[in-house]
Structure 1
Amino acid sequence: MAKAGSRPGATAKKKGPTKGTGGHGRKALEGRGNTPKAEDRVYHKAHKMKRAAENRKATNTLRSRAPRLGGKRASDELVTGRNSVLESLQTKIPSKTLFVMSRIEVDDRVREILTEANKQNLPILEIGRLELDRLTDHAVHQGVALQIPPYKYPDAGNLVLDTMERWHDQQLEVPPLFVALDGITDPRNLGAIIRSVSAFSGNGVIIPERRSAAMTASAWKTSSGAAARIPVAKATNLTRVIQQAKEAGMFVVGLDGGGDIDLPDLELASEPLMIVVGSEGKGLSRLVTENCDQIVSIPISSAMESLNASMAVGIALYEVSRRRSS
C-alpha cells in the first residue's frame, strides 16, 4: 500500500550527502565588503551635506584672501571689467589674484585675459556670480576682477638724499630730476606725470601724504607700465622735503601762471632739479611757493586759463631735457 502523501510513479530519494558546488558559490556568500559610509554614497543625503560643507569652507577661505569692499575697505584694490582687466595685465600692473566667474561666457577678451594671467603665473580663482558681486561691491565686472596689492611708497626725503649722494659721488651721469605734486588729486594725472618722468629720464615722483592722488589701479594704467620703473615716494611734509632737497644742493622750481620767468629762460635746467606742480585750480600752496628758488610760467595763449597739470609737467620736462642735451 502506498504511503500517505506519495504520488503514483514517484521514486523515493536516497538520504545522505548530495553533490556540492565545488566552491562556485563562495563569492556570493562573501558579499561585497564593508558598506560605504553614508557621506561617501553620491545618492545619499549625507553626501550632499558633506559637499555643501566643503563649499562653505572654500568660500570662507576665499573671503579671507579677498579684499573687503564694504564699509571698512581693505588696502587692496580690484580692477573690474574685461577691457580694464586685460589692459592692466598687458601693462604688467603688479597683481595678486584674478577672479573669474563660474560658467563665464568665454569670448576673445576672456581668452586673452586667461592667457596673460597664465604667462605671469597669476593665481586664478573661479567663484560664483553672487560672490563676485559682493567682492566688487556690485560694480560692472563682466565676470572678471583683478586684485591689486597696495603700492609700497619709499620715503621721499630718503629717496632725494640718496639720489643726491650718488650725484655728488659721481655715480650718476645726468643731474637728478624729480617732480613733486602739490594738491594733485586725480590718479590719472599722477599716472600721466609718472609716464612723462620716465620718458625724460627723471629719478622719481614725490606726493604728499594727504590731499593727493595715490597709486591706484587707475594711476598704474595711465602710466602705461612706467610706474614699474619710476619710484613714487610719499612725503609726510612736502615743504620739509623741499627744504632737505635744497640743503643737499638741489634747485627747486615751481610751475605757476604768474611766474618770475618763462620756461624758455630757465637757466637751472642743467642743475639737479625738482619741479613742483600744483592743482589746476588752486595752483601751488603758499608754503611751497615760498620755498621754491624760482616760479616758472609756461607761455600760453591768453585764451587759455591754465594747462592740465600732467601736460604742464610734460612741457617742462621736455624743455629741461632739451637744455641738458644741448
Structure 2
Amino acid sequence: MTTRRDDRPPGRPRPASYGRRPAAAKPRPPVDEGVSVLYGWHPVVQAVGNAERRLHRLLATENAAARLAAELGPLRITPELVRPNAINALLGPDAVHQGLYLEAEPLPAPRLDDLPDDALLLALDQITDPHNVGAIVRTAAAFGVTGIVTTARHAPGATGVLAKSASGGLEHVPFVTVRNLAEALIELGERGFTRIGLDSEAAVDLDTLEPRRPAVIVLGAEGKGLRERTRTCCDVLAKIPFTGAIRSLNVSNAAAITLYALRMR
C-alpha cells in the first residue's frame, strides 16, 4: 500500500515551497567589457548621485533601495529589487555589497594637458593591488587631489574591488592614463610641476619640503619602490622620517601621511 506524504485532497497541487529549498539566483550574462561594476553603499550612492556617471543597471535589496532613495531622493535609475543572494551570485559570497550592485560607464578621463596649471597630482609607479589603489583614491579625494596619473599597463581597472576600497572617491578624483610614466613626468616638469618622489632611502625628510602647486607626488609599489627611470624624473626624493622600529608603511598609508605633511594649497 502506498502512503501519501500529506493529507491533500486528490488532484490539489502541492505548494511550491513544499519540501524544496529556495531557488538559487539565476546566473546573469557577463558584464560587457569596459563597463564598471560598483558595489557597496558609498561607491553606489556617490555614483548614482553623480550626474556625469552614465548608469546601466542597478540591483538592490528592498531595504537598500529604500535607504538609497531616502539619501538621494528621486533616483536617476530604477533599481531591480532582488534578494541578497542574487548579488552574491554576481560578486561572490565574500563581497561586502550591502545590498547594492551597479553597472555603469567609466567616468571620462582627462588628458595630461587638460589638467589645470595649479593641479596637485599623485603618480602611481606600477602599483597594481586594487585595494591599495582604491585606498589611495579615497585619500586623494579627502585631500583635494586633482587627479591620479597611472599607466594603461601595470595598473588595476577602476571597478570592483578598487571601487569598493575607494569608498566613492572615484567620483571625485579622475584617473589620467598615460602610455609611459617617465615621459609624463618629464612633460609635467616642463609645465612647472614640482615632482616629488617618495623613497624610503632618500636623504631628505618629507617635512622639510615646502613645495607649492603645481606638484606631483610619485609613489612606488611596495617592495620595489620607484623604478630607476622614474627616480631620475623627480626633482626631489624624500622620505617619511620614521622614529620607531618599523621603517616602512603600506603605500596607501604613506600617501595619506605625505599629503597631510605637505598640505599644498
Cα shift readout 1:143-202 (whole Å, capped 9, x = no counterpart): 8632232343222x2234xx22xxxxxxxxxx4311101111122322332333333333
Provide the C-alpha distance between the structure 2 equivalents of 1:217 and 1:67, rounded to a whole number of angstroms: 17
Provide the C-alpha distance between the structure 2 equivalents of 1:127 and 1:109, rounded to a whole number of angstroms: 10
**Post-superposition shift, 1:133?**
7.8
Q: Is the 1:179–1:275 contact (alpha carbons within 8 Å) kept by the matching residues of 2?
A: yes
Partner of 1:273: 215
Secondary structure of 2:153's match?
coil
Q: Is the 1:255–1:278 contact (alpha carbons within 8 Å) kept by the matching residues of 2?
A: yes
Provide the C-alpha distance between the structure 1 equivalents of 2:244 and 2:135, rounded to a whole number of angstroms: 25
The yes-or-no answer on 1:68 pairing with 2:23 is no
5 Å matches for 1:76-87?
Answer: 76-79=35-38, 84=40, 86-87=41-42
5 Å matches for 1:130-209?
Answer: 136=90, 139-140=92-93, 145-155=101-111, 157-160=112-115, 163-164=116-117, 175-209=118-152
Q: Which has the larger radius of gyration?
A: 1
Structure 1: which 5+ residue stretches go unaligned? 1-62, 165-174
Instruction: Label 1:271 to 1:133 Cα distance change in 2 as closer, same or farther (>3 A).
Output: closer
Cα shift readout 1:39-69 (whole Å, capped 9, x = no counterpart): xxxxxxxxxxxxxxxxxxxxxxxx9xx8625
Partner of 1:172: none
Q: Is the 2:59–2:87 contact (alpha carbons within 8 Å) kept by the matching residues of 1?
A: no
Partner of 1:25: none
Q: Is the 1:252–1:294 contact (alpha carbons within 8 Å) kept by the matching residues of 2?
A: yes
TM-score between the two structures when normalised by the length of structure 2? 0.72
Partner of 1:292: 234
Secondary structure of 1:147's match?
strand
Instruction: Label 1:67 to 1:229 Cα distance change in 2 as closer, same or farther (>3 A).
Output: farther
TM-score between the two structures when normalised by the length of structure 1? 0.60
Provide the C-alpha distance between the structure 1 equivalents of 2:136 and 2:120, rounded to a whole number of angstroms: 13
Secondary structure of 1:96's match?
strand
Work out which of the residue numbers 99, 112, 135 in structure 1 matches 2:59.
Answer: 99
Partner of 1:225: 168
Structure 2: which 5+ residue stretches go unaligned? 1-26
Q: Is the 1:77–1:217 contact (alpha carbons within 8 Å) kept by the matching residues of 2?
A: yes
Provide the C-alpha distance between the structure 2 equivalents of 1:317 and 1:143, rounded to a whole number of angstroms: 33
Q: CA RMSD in A?
A: 3.3
Q: How many residues align?
A: 231
Amino acid of the residue matched to residue 146 of structure 1?
A: L
Structure whose residues are more often helix by fraction: 1
Q: Is the 1:280–1:306 contact (alpha carbons within 8 Å) kept by the matching residues of 2?
A: no
Provide the C-alpha distance between the structure 2 equivalents of 1:142 and 1:283, rounded to a whole number of angstroms: 35
Work out which of the residue numbers 200, 203, 210 in structure 2 matches 1:257.
Answer: 200
Secondary structure of 1:318's match?
helix
Provide the C-alpha distance between the structure 2 equivalents of 1:116 and 1:252, rounded to a whole number of angstroms: 40
Cα shift readout 1:253-280 (whole Å, capped 9, x = no counterpart): 100100131101214x125211100111
Work out which of the residue numbers 106, 123, 131 in structure 1 matches 2:78.
Answer: 123
Provide the C-alpha distance between the structure 1 equivalents of 2:155 and 2:250, rounded to a whole number of angstroms: 16
State the identity %.
28
Provide the C-alpha distance between the structure 2 equivalents of 1:135 and 1:117, rounded to a whole number of angstroms: 27
Secondary structure of 2:47's match?
coil
Partner of 2:154: 211
